[in-house]
Structure 1
Amino acid sequence: MKNLKQIALGLLVGAMAIGFSAFANANHKLLNTYYPVKTTGSNFSWQQINPNDYQCVSGAAACSSYQSATPPADNRIPSGYAKTNQVLQPL
């Protein structure tokens, strides 16, 4: 009987480990990569793009990416994002 309880406990611990692992991987997949792209004048919007097709120009953000589940609001710098007064513009 003692062996049966140990086996059951082992299976339960293994199932919990797999469950937590699957949950952690699912959360990672929810993040998207956004870049500040110049729209009109000094305005920009956060878009999912291939940065190789863009060049850095003067603007109110930075040419670096930002990862989030949803894009930040247009013309807004999200908390923790390092601003360098540049945005991306199509080549």
Structure 2
Amino acid sequence: MLILLLTYIAPLDQVDQHVEAHMIWVKQGYERGWFLASGRKDPRTGGVILARGDRSEIEAYIATDPFMISGVTRYDVTEVVLSRAAPGLEGLLP
């Protein structure tokens, strides 16, 4: 599993200009079967995406995020090998 941490590096008014395009990009990540869950950080300083798949493919996909292209966010990618999950979340396990 990959944890994609987005951190905004631009003011929110600049981020907001790209939210619609970013959400289309997120939807496509789900359609490809890569994204499992996603949402905003609270307070609104970025977001988190839980993903699975080939790390190099997902990192290449991150480069196409409108947030990245416009320079309003940075990504930190952490790979985790899950060994246990709560009931109902077993599908997250390798």
* TM-score class, shorter: under 0.3
Using structure 2 for the length normalisation, give the TM-score: 0.26
Q: Which structure is richer in relative contact order (CA contacts within 8 A, separation 6 or more)?
A: 2
